[in-house]
Chain A
Amino acid sequence: MASDLISADMVSASEFPFLVEKYGVRSVPHTVINEGQGPLGTPSERELVDAITRAVV
């Protein structure tokens, strides 16, 4: 909601196994940022924002 440039999907790994394979998911939660790997586990808001900023540089 904080930016019109951001879209966020919750994806149930058990229902979409092809995505588990596509993104090499080994544990959940697993965050994908623009098709690349983001933080594993549950990041803090700051950790997630920093990961996003790094991903789009």
Chain B
Amino acid sequence: MEILKEKDRTNLAEIFRSITEQVTLVMFTQEMECPPCHMTRGLLEEVSHLSDTITLETYEFVQDREKATALGVDKIPATVLLGDRDYGIRFFGSPAGYEFNALIQDIIDIGKRSPGLPQDITDDLAALTQPVHLQVLVSPT
């Protein structure tokens, strides 16, 4: 099943050439795959094939419970984006529609090891002293 169009794959492969560091996509699904899980896995497999710097690891939510818990995954489908460490970036649900752009941008930011934020923003965030859990509820249109 091909999800991305040929043109999009070509464009993405070109965009990913700017990535210099390893990016790991860690996906949690289940053996009897729900449609969003199936869709997400297909999409991530295609994305990971577009660059040697992007690796996909797939785990089962139930069988690999410890791994899921360690990565803060409590619902599936879930995609955790890792660079040289865990930056706390997760996608719950299939990253389709507009969220696909966010996924690609995150892969690029992690691959460059830089979120590309203005200095004043970075300074304010560095001054935080308590944990912050952000959740952005979106719709896949």
Interface residues of A (CB under 8 A from B): 1-16, 19-20, 23, 25, 28-35, 38, 45-46, 49, 52-53, 55-56
Contact B92 A2 (CB under 8 A): no
Contacting residue for B135 out of A2, A5, A31, A55, CB 8 A: A31
B side interface size, CB within 8 A: 41
Known: A3-B125, A34-B133. A9 touches B90 (CB 8 A): yes
User: Do B138 and A13 touch (CB < 8 A)?
Assistant: yes
CB distance from A40 to the nearest CB of B (A): 10
Q: What total of A-B pairs shows CB separation below 8 Å?
A: 138
Shortest Cβ distance from residue A16 to the other chain B in the assembled complex, whole angstroms: 6
Where the two chains meet, the residues of B that have a C-beta atom closer than 8 Å to any C-beta of A are: 36, 72, 75, 77, 87-95, 99, 102-103, 109-110, 114-115, 117-118, 120-122, 124-126, 128-140
Complex CA distance for A29 and B135, rounded to whole angstroms: 10
Given contacts A6-B134, A20-B137, contact A15 B117 (CB under 8 A): no
Query: Which secondary structure characterizes the binding site on chain B?
Result: mixed
Assess whether A30 is in contact with B137, with CB atoms less than 8 Å apart.
Answer: yes
Q: With contacts A15-B94, A16-B92, A45-B118 known, is A5 near B132, CB below 8 A?
A: yes
Known pairs A9-B134, A55-B132; list 12 more (Cβ under 8 Å): A4-B88, A5-B128, A7-B132, A10-B138, A11-B93, A12-B139, A23-B137, A25-B137, A29-B138, A31-B136, A52-B132, A56-B128
